[in-house]
Amino acid sequence: MTKEERRWWDDFIKNSEEAQRAILAGHSPLLPHSLIYDLESLGDESMHGFEKIILDKFEKYKNKEIAGRINGGNETASQADVMAERLWTKNVPLARRIQSGNLTLNGASKIIFDDWENKGIEGGRPSLKTISNWYKRIRPN
């Protein structure tokens, strides 16, 4: 292969990869690439008769994605409830001081944050805001 032929193939591959990225851009990474290519081909006469099949398949994947996001959000909230309960059950004296008005929520959260080894629970140390939010999860008022 000559240098010019090699350069032509290199350019061809580079342009093909750029075209592929452009086609896939803006679509959910959860969609199969073959479906994205089909969607992007809608309107071409070679796709005549297949539009409904492609759009139905796309709708199915979108519904799965929506359901997955909802389930993921619910799971995250459930885990936050568990972590909140464990943390503030371990720190009942601080929670009582908050309820009595002797300590602010931010002050109690800072105490826990600063002494995470003794007052915290397993896992990495969350932010002050997260510790405060966990208190609000178990004692909303």
Q: With contact defined as beta carbons under 8 Å apart, do 95 and 139 qualify? A: yes
Determine the pLDDT at residue 141.
63
Nearest 5 degrees, angle CA 62-CA 64-CA 69? Answer: 95
Asked if residue 6 belongs to a domain, the reply is no
Eight-class DSSP state of 122: S
Q: Give the domain extent around 98.
A: 31-138
Determine the pLDDT at residue 56.
92
Q: What pTM value is reported for the model? A: 0.56
Determine the pLDDT at residue 33.
92
Euclidean distance between CA atoms 83 and 91, whole angstroms? 12
Euclidean distance between CA atoms 20 and 82, whole angstroms? 44
Asked if residue 2 belongs to a domain, the reply is no
**Total count of domains within the chain:** 1
Q: With contact defined as beta carbons under 8 Å apart, do 38 and 54 qualify? A: yes
Asked if residue 100 belongs to a domain, the reply is yes
Asked if residue 4 belongs to a domain, the reply is no
Determine the pLDDT at residue 28.
87
* pLDDT-flagged residues of the chain (< 50): none
Determine the pLDDT at residue 85.
95
Asked if residue 109 belongs to a domain, the reply is yes
